[in-house]
Every structure is written in structure tokens, then in C-alpha cells.
A and B are shown apart, each in its own frame.
Chain A
Amino acid sequence: MNQEDIALFERYFLEYKDDVYRVAYYFTRNKDDAEDLAQDAFMRAYRFFYRFHRDSNFKSWILRIMRNIYLTNVQKNKSTINADELIQSTATSTINVESNFLQGIQIKQIQKAIEKLPEDFREVIILCDLESLPYEQIAEILKIPIGTVRSRLHRGRLLLKERLTVHE
């Protein structure tokens, strides 16, 4: 890497470190694993920075790298799932709604329901509804067509709704 690339990488690092860490936390559900995952993602991104197209979106690129590392780790060790820390660290606020299905539901119940979603649905909900990323960027990160992003979101939300309706 030349000096220009190093400076660019450092700029990206400082700009996106919190986003990467936050998504790592949503993926892994605990802070220690999130630190490891974010660290691995940045180190791999650094190693392969020569492959990064300068006109592309760095955030999408590194989130895709991180997601691949995460999926590999999950396949290796499925016992890392621990929703408790995420649930404990969030305020137990209640959504004030008029709808029957979510009335009185606490945020932690939504979190629990998201945790239990199949991975394909969980990741699009995290990227769209928690991270507020546009479909185009989600499609880029997950390497799937926009239509699939939309379809997974819809099916994921239907599943969430179904599971949360039990609490009525």
C-alpha cells in the first residue's frame, strides 16, 4: 500500500469504525465477540484493500467482509449465540401503540423475536430496520438482488408479527 492508500484506509476506519462495531454487535449479540469480529473485519479489509474499487462504497464492502467472517464463525461454532447481554443492555421501554398486535410489547420482546429469526431474515431486518440502510446497499452487502432483499424483509416481518402476536 502506498501512503495515499494508507491515509485513505485510515480515513475510512475513523469514519466507519462505530458503524462496523455496532453491526458486529447486532450480529454477534455480545460485546466481546463484536470486538473480535470488527477487528477481524478491519484487518481483512486492510489486507485486501488493493481489491477495493475506489468508486465503491467502503461501508458496504467492509460490512460484506464482516458478514462473511461472521457466517464462517457461526458455522464453526454455533454455541456463540447469547441474546441475554443485548437484552440486558437495552432499556425495557414499551412501545406506545394502538395496534392490538404490538400493544404493550416491550422492546426486549422484539429483540428476542429478532434473535430467533432465521439468519437470512435476521440480517436484512438488522440492516434495514436497525441500521436504516437502503435496499441497494443491503443487496450489495449480502450479494443478493434487491427483489430478494424486499422478499426477505417481508417474510421476516411476517414471522416477527406472527411471533409477537402470541403476546397479545
Chain B
Amino acid sequence: MNSNIFSPLGCCDERLVTDFVDKRMTKKEATLYLRKIENCAKVKNCQRCKKLLDDFTILKEGCTSMKQPLVMPDTLEHKLLNRLHEALIQTKNK
């Protein structure tokens, strides 16, 4: 995200919101963006973007906390390795 493209975009633009929430902005860009939001709130009394950022950030944290420590069951791992070896033997026999 290049800071010089901030100006034509509204502060609630999805490109800015998602890049901020997903931490795709540099520190400098994020600071500039937050300043833009603050300014928008002061000048236009717009709270929408700030709320959107807060809610999406919380939502993302909620989703991330759902990530489960799932590992492939041993039985499946062995079964798959066996199937792969069988496939290899078949290939060799062709």
C-alpha cells in the first residue's frame, strides 16, 4: 500500500480497512491512515470507519482464536503413506 494513494480513497474504503486490519500496511502507512480517520472524525464527525476498524479487528482476533491444534490422525497418515507406496509400486510395474 502506497501512502500517496490514500488521498483519493475515502477512509472507509475496503482497501484501506482490510489492509489495516490484516496488517498489510507499513508502520508509517498505518499511522497516516489512523491520522486520516481522526481527521475525518473531527471534520465530518464520521465515526463509521473507526468503528469498522475496531469491530473487524476484534472479529479477526475471534476467528484466529478459533484455530484448532488439529493434526492429521496417525491412522490416516499411515493409510496415506501406504497408499502412496502402493501407487508407486503400480507406477513401477506399468
Q: Tell me how many residues of A have a C-beta within 8 Å of chain B.
A: 48
The proximity string for B residues 1-30 relative to A, scoring 1 for CB distances below 8 Å and 0 otherwise, is 000000000000011011101101000000
| Cα distance A114–B20 in the bound complex, in angstroms | 21
Could you say which residues of chain A place their CB within 8 Å of the CB of B15?
A: 147, 150
| Cα distance A154–B49 in the bound complex, in angstroms | 13
- Whether B91 pairs with A1 at a CB distance below 8 angstroms is yes
Given A22-B70, A99-B54, A135-B22, the answer on whether A125 and B80 have CB atoms closer than 8 Å is no
Contact of B60 among A18, A129, A131 (CB under 8 A): A129
Tell yes or no: A66 within 8 A of B by CB: no
**A-B contacts at CB below 8 angstroms, number:** 108
**B65 nearest CB neighbor, chain A only:** A107
- Whether A42 pairs with B67 at a CB distance below 8 angstroms is no
Tell yes or no: B68 within 8 A of A by CB: yes
**B71 nearest CB neighbor, chain A only:** A18
Q: Tell me how many residues of B have a C-beta within 8 Å of chain A.
A: 36
- Whether B62 pairs with A105 at a CB distance below 8 angstroms is yes
The proximity string for B residues 58-81 relative to A, scoring 1 for CB distances below 8 Å and 0 otherwise, is 111111111110111100110111
Q: How far is the CB of A114 from chain B (nearest CB, A)?
A: 7
Tell yes or no: A35 within 8 A of B by CB: yes
**B21 nearest CB neighbor, chain A only:** A157
Tell yes or no: A65 within 8 A of B by CB: no
| Cα distance A110–B65 in the bound complex, in angstroms | 11
Could you say which residues of chain A place their CB within 8 Å of the CB of B76?
A: 21, 35, 38-39
- Whether B83 pairs with A43 at a CB distance below 8 angstroms is yes
The proximity string for A residues 91-111 relative to B, scoring 1 for CB distances below 8 Å and 0 otherwise, is 001010101011001010011
**4 cross-chain pairs, A with B, having the tightest CB-CB distances, nearest first:** A129-B63, A154-B14, A21-B72, A22-B70
